[in-house]
Amino acid sequence: MSTVTVVHTKDRLSGVVQLVGRRPDDVPRRWWESLLVFLFFTGAYSWFGYWVVVDMHVVGFEALDRLNRALMVWHNEPAKLSAIGFDYPPLATLLIAPLAIFRGFVTSMAAVPVASAIFAGITMVALNTMMRRALIVGPLRYALLLALGANPLVLLYATTGTRHFVWIAFAVTALGSLFAWYVTADVRFIMLAGIAYAVAALAGYSSLTFFVLSAIMVGAILARLGADGTEVEGTVVGFAAPTAYVIALWTVLNLVLLLDPLAWITRSSDAASSGGLEVFSAVDLLRGTGELVLYGAPLAIVVLPALLFSGLARGNPFATWLGVLLAAAILTPALAVALRLTDSPMLMRNAVPILLIAVVGAIWLARSAEEGSTLVAGLVIVGLLISIPWTLEQMKTYRYQNLEAPFAAAITTGESQEGAETLSGDKVGIVSEQAMAEYIRNNVTRDNSILTDNAQTYAVMMLTGHPERFFDRVDKSDGPWKIAARNPAKYVDYMLISTSDNGDLLYKLYADAVAGNDAQLQIVYRTPRYVLVGVPKGYSPTATTTQIQNLQGSP
């Protein structure tokens, strides 16, 4: 009787550390709970954000810029996908593009809070699912989410349309998937984490730090569990492939379109900056980092040592990794300054990812505490509640910030912040843009009839809801736009120009017109921040050759 060895699937998988092709021992799916959490937080943040943005006039212009680009994706003539540009990570704009399908949603500014609320909602769903896997009971889960959701920093960035929650949502989702992978050993979660990090990478480049650390963690944990080299390599490749692909693709696109493969790093900047780059000593950075954590995410002060203790002293590798991740989140702002990778150093918004990772760490500590999980969760809730008034108070005075102070003032006084100044000296408010937009909407109907430098006047463009009426840099790229700028009468009827020299190239060319000193270019309508100038037929520019040449050399 002959016997043969056929490699059975079971034999092939016998040495595999992870769970493959089997149902994992996991918490049951509760899509309805996830949906309710999402709807609650998205709805609450949208509603609150509408009040903050529309009534209190606390609005970041970066959000308006991205919404204007989203409008151009659908409503420019012709529609322009390239409007997403290279200034922001592409998905920061693309993911909110659906909000701009209907112009009214954007011009009413209702889309502004929704643009961040959706992603804050996703973040809360990911945290809730993590807590379910940590076996934290329902009432404590919801209490923790509410305590976190009511944190004033979280509120500010979840309600004012900023892009930070876009990448944070996917980074936290990736962390949640890795959390699930560690708990269940199910290889599926590695794939989901990989995809989530890929989206996060194109929504915010900061997430790449967490991605790299996660890739190292996946390999290290597998190796520690006794996986062979093939399994470690295959899993890490599977995890890293999506992010590597999107970054490679984006680099190639930068190379093809901008002739600079790293433009996505060098050209990326924040629309709303702090007071500019200062000289920081090591002591300054250390103190800045300490203040950032103390004021913005005090929970991390407790969670970080607890994670490291649990990880190193109790042999809890996932706690170690979360500790490393939290430490990286804390050190990243200082490192960015030290490496001169930012023109907005030590901003308070950097505390948001620190706070969220600290919460993830706390959830893991609760799970690791087993019988003590309820106590740990309870302590976290108390900590988060205590930090609410503390952080709110610090937002009013913290030195490096965007709209923290006006936001804090708005929610403590209930008064509109129109005309108020940020700590860095910028004016808060949007009345000037709304007035100009309304005038254009009512008086200009011809497409491509207003020449404008959209890099400076995006807020007005967005509020008109009609990007097709503007001849901007996106329409036919920079070259033709500059030609039109030299001879506007041949192309347009008007020019929309900023009233301050903040980089508006038309302002540089037609400063006299902005000041009302050009006899040929009459101001049709003026607001404190913009002028709409009529361009008569046969107008011949008086700008000097040098100015034109300067214009051609401008970025």
Partner 1 sequence: MTTTQSSAQTRRHPRLTDGVDQDLRYLIPEGICRTFRVMPYAAVEGTVLVAAADADDNITAHVVAERIDRPVLLVRHTVNEIVSAIDAVYPPQETEVETPEARRARMQMAQMLTRSGLITDDQLQRAMLEYSRTGDPLGDILVSHEAISEDVLVAALSEMYQMQRVGLADFAPEMEVARRLPEPLAQAFQAIPVAATEDLVLLAVARPLDAEQAAEVEEALGAPFRQLLANRTELDQLIQRVHARHYAEVSTRLLMETRPEESAHIVVSGGQKAALVFTAIVVVVCLVIWPVETVIGLVALCSLLYLVVSIYKFRLTLRALGTHLETDVTDEEIAAVDERHLPVYTILVPLYKEAAIVPRLVRDINALDYPRTRLDVKLLCEEDDQETVDKIRSMDLPPHFHLVVVPDSQPKTKPKACNYGLQLATGDYCVIFDAEDRPDPDQLKKAVIAFGRVHQNVVCIQAKLNHFNQDQNLLTAWFANEYSMHFELILPAMGASESPIPLGGTSNHFITSKLRELGAWDPFNVTEDADLGIRLHREGYRTAMIDSTTLEEANSQVPNWIRQRSRWNKGYIQTWLVHMRRPFHLLSATGLRGFLSFNLTMGTAFVLLLNPIFWALTTLYVFTQAGFIQQLFPGIVFYVASALLFVGNFIFVYLSVAGSLQRGEFSLTRTALLSPLYWGLMSWAAWKGFIQLFTNPFYWEKTTHGLDDGSAGTS
Interface contacts to partner 1, rule CB under 8 A: 1-10, 12-13, 16, 18, 20-24, 78-79, 81, 186-192, 194-195, 230-231, 233-235, 237-238, 241-242, 245-246, 249, 256
Of 175 and 409, which CB lies nearer to partner 1 in the complex structure? 175
What is the spatial distance between Cα 509 and Cα 496, in angstroms, rounded to a whole number? 12
The alpha carbon dihedral of 207, 98, 122, 303 has a sign of positive
Of 194 and 323, which CB lies nearer to partner 1 in the complex structure? 194
Of 191 and 258, which CB lies nearer to partner 1 in the complex structure? 191
What is the spatial distance between Cα 535 and Cα 337, in angstroms, rounded to a whole number? 45
Min separation Cβ 157 and partner 1, Å: 27
Min separation Cβ 473 and partner 1, Å: 18
What is the spatial distance between Cα 72 and Cα 49, in angstroms, rounded to a whole number? 24
Task: Tell me how far apart the 2 most distant CA atoms of the chain are, in Å.
Answer: 108
Min separation Cβ 179 and partner 1, Å: 15
The token pair at 63 is 């959000």
Min separation Cβ 22 and partner 1, Å: 6
Min separation Cβ 415 and partner 1, Å: 43
Min separation Cβ 28 and partner 1, Å: 12
Rama region for 57: left / alpha / beta (φ>0; ψ in -120 to 50; rest) = left
By CB neighbour count within 10 A (0-12 exposed, 13-18 middle, 19+ buried), where does 115 fall?
A: buried
Min separation Cβ 440 and partner 1, Å: 24
Min separation Cβ 185 and partner 1, Å: 11
Of 244 and 388, which CB lies nearer to partner 1 in the complex structure? 244
Task: Please give the torsion angle defined by the CA atoms of residues 161, 91, 342 and 408, in that order, rounded to the nearest 10 degrees.
Answer: 10
Of 24 and 275, which CB lies nearer to partner 1 in the complex structure? 24
- Residue 19 sits at φ, ψ, to 5 deg, of -85, 120
Of 21 and 226, which CB lies nearer to partner 1 in the complex structure? 21
Of 216 and 312, which CB lies nearer to partner 1 in the complex structure? 216
Of 256 and 313, which CB lies nearer to partner 1 in the complex structure? 256
Of 16 and 328, which CB lies nearer to partner 1 in the complex structure? 16
Of 13 and 150, which CB lies nearer to partner 1 in the complex structure? 13
State the Cα angle at 107 between 106 and 113, rounded to 5°: 45
State the Cα angle at 367 between 365 and 368, rounded to 5°: 60
Of 100 and 440, which CB lies nearer to partner 1 in the complex structure? 100
Min separation Cβ 455 and partner 1, Å: 24
* DSSP letters for 287-322: HHHHHIIIII-THHHHHHHHHHHHHHHTT-HHHHHH
How is residue 95 annotated by DSSP?
A: T
Element (H, E) at 494: strand 494-498
Q: Which residue do the tokens 């949640």 mark?
A: 176
Min separation Cβ 198 and partner 1, Å: 8
CB 346 within 8 A of CB 337: yes
Of 20 and 258, which CB lies nearer to partner 1 in the complex structure? 20
Q: Which residue do the tokens 């200062």 mark?
A: 278
Min separation Cβ 121 and partner 1, Å: 20
Min separation Cβ 126 and partner 1, Å: 17
Min separation Cβ 521 and partner 1, Å: 34
User: What is the 3-state secondary structure of 363-420?
Assistant: HHHHHHCHHHHHHHHHHHHHHHHHHHHHHHHHHCCCCCCCCHHHHHHHHHHCCCCCCC
What is the spatial distance between Cα 10 and Cα 522, in angstroms, rounded to a whole number? 82
Min separation Cβ 161 and partner 1, Å: 23
Of 252 and 312, which CB lies nearer to partner 1 in the complex structure? 252
The token pair at 62 is 């970066």
Of 238 and 528, which CB lies nearer to partner 1 in the complex structure? 238
The residues, any chain, with a CB within 8 Å of residue 346's CB and separated by 6 or more, are 274, 280, 285, 288, 289, 292, 333, 334, 337, 400
The token pair at 256 is 């093809």
Q: Which residue do the tokens 């009040």 mark?
A: 51
- Residue 77 sits at φ, ψ, to 5 deg, of -120, 100
Task: Please give the torsion angle defined by the CA atoms of residues 186, 164, 261 and 238, in that order, rounded to the nearest 10 degrees.
Answer: 0
